[in-house]
């Protein structure tokens, strides 16, 4: 005889799941059946409404692979009555979205709601009025398990959650997934930090920085929906393949309107077709360039040499040069943007004329002031004294005209630095110039000097350690009136201008007040592998705390000699025999040879960021693109070549650190040449 439903907790939970699904379906049908003809006769409104309805229907979809709820909280007392005798607390199911029944009573509560917070934060030490915390386990969309913690029961021992562990250990397939079911308390604190403040997170590889940043955006959009819908949000990542890897996390959380971009995308004022040598890019990325640009721009403002004479009818009105100068000085001192001041200038001159008209007994009104401001003599005077400047042309001139650069960088740049940034082959025009990424950032700075950049409500900046000071400024001006979440790892900085300290970076960003948090629990890399990679830490970022892996599965880790590319491919074939994704990471220069060897062996492969399929689970990853990505299994080819692929040893070792920390379940390091000594210093090499 089967157990009746009311005695079988799992059956009861399944029945709640079924009921929640039906309720969600009813919510969706309600929206679908809205007849907008009744609501609006205007076709523009109708089109807007229709789109909103479509979005809402999309947001209410019941996705079979994402369980509707993953947790349950039974509170001890009703809200606001903690400690009240006799009254029972409510029960809430925690999921990705809010679901209510026909009466409007909640069936599932959004994970971001305040009542959901104890699901992530409550502990035996601080139960937050939670009597029971239940986690649910699913297999193929079916609710198959649950796990209870009685937080207020002193007799119950604290235990690690098996379901949590299972989620952490699950094989990785396809793009990044959300972690709503298993956000850890220290991560949750960052996720739910207020919108007003900026947060900076230093964390080693796999500590969940990217995950935390994305969940923070989702949380902020929930808590400040209207404000952020107006002001906008932005997630910045290091490159297109990384953005492809993370792009599905926010939509899966119901957030479809978050822009994701690289810093290069943000500053794409010109077509970038060139590249700088490291020494050049370092100078161009230095914050002192902002001062050079400012000086160069304002050198266009010249003291008025003559009076302005405005002829109206039979009368002539004169604004003497010294009064004109006073207006100019006042505008310079007010610190408004170059362009705004230039726009204000004609009206200021017109005002001076109007004052004279009034003194002469006339009674001019606003229309007269407008007309005077548009008078050709006023326009000509403004053009002379405060000319329009094109930001790209300004940068072009600085980079091509040695005299102009010298004049405006005196005392700011050294002679050597000037030489480093002057183009050897001067371009004739903005269009024909071979702009580099660093040049585009300079143009962005100049653009902002002329016209204020639009500021968003919140910006998440991932892999921040690689930004130059000028890039930080470019990001900072996109959130001057908003806040930022800055994520990074000083040990993974691989650009010549990589961040040395977060305080410095936050200064360039204009967010000096940001709190710096550290995450040290590692969710990706197995213990043995992270211990091996951490041998590099004293050489690449002394003082940083090594990551402590929370994975129980020891994974596997092997170092083996591989004389040829075919040996490397053999390693890949071995790993492809296991479940999940495999990455072959190699120095950029070795990628073509390995691609050929894979093809010769009949093994198909993908490029980073491309989605793995059942047939193709191997990604060939150039070391320069490995950052931020992860694979179940990794073959890391020739560490020495990875190090040597960078301009200096420290950067090389940092690149190697990034590459060594991409594996979730297992790593094979293959090498034909000797391993870098910093890796071999502790353990003798295992036999091949
Ligand atoms: N609380 C968690 N529960 C389950 N998985 C988690 C948790 N936190 C992070 N992860 C997983 O760990 C992996 C690493 O996370 P993430 O990529 O965000 O780390 P990171 O700190 O940005 O790493 P890197 O420095 O290498 O870019 C991801 O697969 C992520 O989903």
What is the pLDDT, as a whole number, of residue 611? 79
CA distance 288 to 269: 21
Q: For 287-310, what is the mean pLDDT?
A: 96
Greater model confidence, 345 or 168: 345
Per-residue pLDDT tens digits for 496-523: 999 999 999 999 999 999 999 999 999 9
pLDDT at 391 > cutoff 80: yes
From the list 215, 93, 106, the residue with the least C-alpha distance to 143 is 93
pLDDT above 60 (res 406): yes
Name the token pair of 653.
């070792």
Known binding positions? 203-210
* Dist CA 477 CA 461 (whole Å): 13
484 has a pLDDT exceeding 80: yes
Same-domain check for residues 534 and 428: no
3-class DSSP state of 161: coil
Total H helices, total E strands in the chain: 30, 21
Nearest CA to ligand 1 atom 9: 208
Per-residue pLDDT for 598 more than 50?
yes
Q: What pLDDT shows up at residue 86?
A: 56
Q: Torsion angle of alpha carbons 622, 625, 627, 629, nearest 10°? A: -80
Q: What band does 579 get if pLDDT is binned at 50, 70 and 90?
A: confident
pLDDT of res. 502: 97
Query: Which range of residues forms the domain containing residue 350?
Result: 308-384
Kindly indicate the confidence band of residue 215, based on its pLDDT and cuts at 50, 70 and 90.
very high
Return the number of other C-beta atoms located less than 10 Å from residue 282's C-beta: 18
Residue 688 pLDDT greater than 60, yes or no: no
Domain for residue 670, yes or no?
yes
Nearest CA-CA partner of 648 in 204, 279, 288: 279
Kindly state whether residue 450 falls inside one of the protein's structural domains: yes
The ipTM assigned to this model is: 0.99
- Pairing assessment for the beta strands 106-110 and 91-95 based on DSSP bridges: parallel
- pLDDT for 352 equals 95
Q: Which two tokens stand for residue 640?
A: 């020495």
Q: Report how far residue 136's alpha carbon sits from residue 144's, in angstroms, rounded to the nearest whole number.
A: 8
Query: Using CA atoms, how far apart are residues 450 and 386, in angstroms rounded to an integer?
Result: 12
Cβ proximity of 457 and 224 under 8 Å: yes
Mean pLDDT on 304-330: 93
**What SS3 class is residue 214?**
helix
Span 334-355, mean pLDDT? 95
Q: Round the average pLDDT of the chain to a whole number and report it.
A: 91
Mutate to test the pocket of ligand 1, among 119, 206, 629 (most ligand atoms within 8 A of CB): 206
What is the position in ligand 1's atom list of the atom closest to the CA of 523? 12
Residue 84 clears pLDDT 60, i.e. is over it: no
Q: Concatenate the DSSP letters of all residues of 438-498 into one string.
A: HHHHHHHHHHHHHSPPPPPSEEEE-SGGG--HHHHHHHHTTSSSSEEEEEE-GGG--STT-
> Which residue in 608, 498, 622, 628 sits closest to 237, CA to CA?
628
Residue 248: its pLDDT value, please?
Answer: 87
CATH of the domain at 533: 3.40.50.300
Contact (Cβ atoms closer than 8 angstroms) between residue 524 and residue 214 = no
pLDDT grade, residue 354 (50/70/90)? very high
Token pair for 306? 């003559």
Taking the CA of residue 462 as reference, the ligand 1 atom at the shortest distance is: 22
CA pair distance 509, 199, nearest whole angstrom? 12
- Residues 544-551, mean pLDDT to the nearest whole number: 91
Q: Compute the distance between CA of residue 244 and CA of residue 175 in angstroms, rounded to an integer.
A: 8
Task: Say which residue, 267 or 162, is predicted with more confidence.
Answer: 267
Ligand 1 atom closest to the CA of 207, numbered from 1: 21
Query: Would 686 be classed as within a structural domain?
Result: no
Q: Tell me the CA–centroid distance for residue 170 and ligand 1, in Å.
A: 12
Q: Are residues 598 and 630 in the same domain?
A: yes
Q: What angle do CA 275, 278, 284 make, to 5 degrees?
A: 75
Domain count, the chain: 4
What spacing in Å lies between the alpha carbon of 238 and ligand 1's midpoint?
Answer: 16
Question: What is the per-residue pLDDT for 253?
Answer: 86
First to last CA, the chain: 58
Whether residues 15 and 136 share a domain: the answer is: yes
Q: Minimal CA–CA distance to 147: which of 163, 167, 125?
A: 163
Residue 484 lies in a domain: yes
Phi, psi of 595 (to 5 degrees): -60, -40
Count the residues in the chain. Answer: 688
- Whole-number pLDDT of residue 82: 52
End position of a domain, from candidates 114, 136, 159: 159
**Cα 60 from Cα 98, distance rounded (Å):** 9
Residues 164 and 134: beta-carbon distance below 8 Å: no
Tell me the two tokens of residue 74: 């039974």
Least confident of 59-63, 120-124, 241-245: 59-63
Q: How far apart are CA 249 and CA 503, in angstroms?
A: 30
Q: How many A from CA of 128 to the centre of ligand 1? A: 27
Q: pTM for the complete prediction?
A: 0.91
115 DSSP 8-state letter = G
| Closest residue by Cα to residue 142 from 18, 245, 297, 2 | 18
The model's confidence at residue 107, banded by pLDDT at 50, 70 and 90, is: very high
- What is the 168 CA–ligand 1 centroid distance (Å)? 9
143 and 16 assigned to the same domain: yes
- Probe residue for ligand 1, chosen from 205, 214, 519, 523 as the CB with the greatest number of ligand atoms within 8 Å: 523
User: Is the residue at 685 inside a domain?
Assistant: no
Q: Is residue 99 domain-shared with residue 184, that is, in the same domain? A: no
**Average pLDDT of the residues in 211-226:** 95
Answer whether residue 426 is part of any domain.
Answer: yes
What's the CA gap between 662 and 206, in Å, rounded? 8
Residue 645 CA to residue 642 CA, distance in Å, equals: 5
Tokens of 561: 């000699």
Known binding-site residues for ATP equal 203-210
Decide: residue 42, CB within 10 A, 0-12 exposed, 13-18 middle, 19+ buried: exposed
**Do residue 155 and residue 41 come from a single domain?**
yes
Q: How far does the centroid of ligand 1 lie from the alpha carbon of residue 405, in Å?
A: 46
The answer to whether residues 250 and 242 touch, using CB atoms and an 8 Å cutoff, is no
550/668 same-domain check: yes
Q: CA Rg, the chain, in Å?
A: 31
Tell whether the model's pLDDT for residue 350 goes beyond 90: yes
Note whether 144 and 137 are within 8 A (CB). yes
How far is the centre of ligand 1, averaged over its atoms, from the C-alpha of 649 (Å)? 28
435, β-bridge pairs: 272
Same domain (yes/no): 420, 499: yes
Backbone angles phi, psi at 177, to 5 degrees: -115, 165
Residues 378 and 396 in one domain: no
pLDDT, tens digit, 9 for 90 and up, residues 648-669? 999 999 999 999 999 999 999 9
C-alpha to C-alpha distances, 353 to 221, 325, 331, 340, 605, nearest whole angstrom: 51, 15, 18, 21, 73
Same domain? For 428 and 501 the reply is: yes
Report the nearest-CA residue for atom 8 of ligand 1: 208
Assess whether pLDDT exceeds 80 at residue 65: no
Chosen domain end from 498, 518, 538: 518
31-40, 325-334, 565-574, 586-595: the lowest-pLDDT one: 31-40
Q: 251-255, 447-451, 455-459, 514-518: which has the minimum mean pLDDT?
A: 251-255
Candidates 580, 568, 577, 592; CA nearest to 668 is 568
Q: Which residues line ligand 1 (CB under 6 A)?
A: 167-168, 179, 182-184, 187, 203, 205-211, 489, 492, 523-524, 628, 630, 661
Q: Answer yes or no: is 300 within a domain.
A: no
Is 687 a residue whose pLDDT tops 50?
no
What pLDDT is recorded for position 165?
Answer: 87
Judgement on whether residues 405 and 276 belong to the same structural domain of the protein: yes
Q: Does residue 216 sit in the same domain as residue 196?
A: yes
Final residue belonging to a domain, choices 159, 189, 204 = 159
Cα 41 from Cα 369, distance rounded (Å): 43
Determine the average pLDDT of the residues in 366-376.
Answer: 93
In a domain, 73, yes or no: yes
Residue 104 has pLDDT above 60, yes or no: yes
Please report the pLDDT score of residue 313 as a whole number.
Answer: 86
DSSP string for 498-555? --S-HHHHHHHHT-TTPEEEEE-EESSS-HHHHHHHHTTHHHHSTTPPPPEE---S--
Residue 596: C-alpha distances to residues 563, 588, 593, 604 (Å): 16, 14, 5, 10
């Amino acid at each position: 005889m089967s157990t009746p439903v009311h005695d079988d907790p799992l059956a009861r939970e399944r029945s709640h799941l079924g009921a929640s699904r039906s309720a969600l379906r009813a919510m969706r049908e309600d929206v679908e059946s809205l007849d907008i003809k009744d609501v609006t006769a205007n076709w523009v409104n109708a089109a807007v409404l229709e789109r909103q309805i479509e979005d809402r229907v999309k947001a209410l979809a019941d996705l079979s692979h994402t369980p509707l709820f993953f947790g349950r909280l039974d509170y001890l007392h009703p809200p606001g009555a903690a400690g009240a005798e006799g009254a029972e607390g409510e029960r809430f199911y925690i999921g990705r979205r809010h679901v209510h029944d026909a009466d409007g009573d909640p069936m599932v509560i959004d994970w971001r709601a305040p009542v959901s917070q104890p699901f992530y934060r409550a502990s035996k030490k601080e139960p937050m009025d939670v009597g029971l915390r239940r986690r649910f386990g699913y297999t193929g969309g079916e609710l198959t398990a649950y796990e209870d913690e009685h937080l207020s029961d002193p007799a119950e021992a604290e235990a690690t959650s098996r379901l949590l562990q299972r989620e952490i250990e699950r094989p990785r397939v396809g793009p990044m997934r959300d972690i709503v079911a298993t956000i850890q308390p220290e991560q949750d604190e960052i996720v739910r930090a207020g919108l007003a403040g900026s947060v900076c997170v230093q964390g080693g590889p796999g500590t969940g920085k990217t995950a935390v940043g994305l969940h923070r955006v989702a949380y902020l959009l929930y808590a400040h929906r209207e404000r952020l819908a107006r002001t906008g949000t932005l997630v910045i990542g290091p490159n297109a393949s990384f953005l492809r890897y993370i792009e599905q996390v926010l939509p899966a959380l119901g957030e479809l309107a978050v822009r994701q971009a690289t810093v290069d995308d943000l500053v794409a004022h010109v077509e970038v077709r060139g590249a700088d040598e490291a020494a050049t890019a370092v100078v161009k990325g230095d914050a002192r360039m902002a001062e050079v640009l400012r000086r160069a721009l304002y050198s266009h403002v010249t003291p008025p040499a003559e009076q302005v004479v405005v002829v109206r009818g039979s009368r002539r009105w004169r604004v003497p040069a010294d009064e004109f100068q006073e207006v100019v000085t006042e505008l310079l001192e007010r610190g408004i943007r170059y362009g705004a001041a230039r726009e204000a200038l004609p009206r200021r001159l017109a005002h001076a004329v109007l004052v004279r008209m009034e003194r002469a007994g006339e009674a001019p009104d606003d229309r007269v002031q407008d007309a005077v401001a548009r008078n050709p003599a006023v326009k000509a005077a403004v053009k002379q004294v405060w000319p329009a400047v094109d930001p790209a042309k300004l940068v072009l001139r600085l980079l091509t005209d040695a005299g102009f650069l010298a004049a405006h960088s005196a005392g700011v740049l050294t002679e050597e630095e000037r030489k480093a940034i002057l183009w050897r082959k001067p371009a004739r025009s903005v269009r024909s110039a071979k702009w580099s990424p660093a040049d585009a950032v300079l143009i962005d700075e100049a653009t902002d000097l002329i016209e204020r950049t639009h500021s968003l409500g919140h910006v998440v900046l991932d892999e921040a350690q690689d930004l130059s000071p000028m890039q930080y400024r470019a990001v900072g001006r996109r959130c001057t009136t908003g806040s930022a979440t800055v994520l990074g790892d000083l040990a993974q900085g691989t650009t010549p201008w990589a961040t040395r300290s977060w305080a410095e970076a936050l200064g360039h960003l204009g967010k000096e007040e940001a709190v710096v948090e550290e995450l040290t629990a590692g969710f990706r890399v197995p213990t043995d592998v992270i211990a091996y990679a951490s041998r590099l830490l004293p050489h690449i970022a002394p003082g940083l705390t090594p990551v402590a892996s929370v994975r129980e599965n020891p994974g596997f880790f092997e170092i083996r000699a591989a004389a040829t590319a075919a040996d490397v491919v053999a390693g890949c074939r071995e790993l492809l025999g296991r479940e999940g994704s495999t990455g072959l990471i190699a120095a950029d220069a070795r990628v073509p040879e390995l691609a050929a060897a894979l093809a010769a062996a009949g093994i198909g492969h993908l490029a980073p960021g491309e989605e793995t399929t059942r047939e193709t689970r191997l990604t060939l990853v150039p070391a320069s693109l490995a950052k931020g990505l992860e694979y179940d299994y990794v073959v890391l080819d020739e560490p020495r070549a990875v190090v040597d692929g960078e301009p200096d040893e420290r950067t090389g070792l940092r690149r190697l650190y990034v590459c060594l920390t991409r594996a979730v379940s297992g790593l094979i390091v293959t090498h034909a040449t000797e391993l870098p000594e910093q890796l071999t210093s502790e353990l003798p090499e295992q036999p091949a």
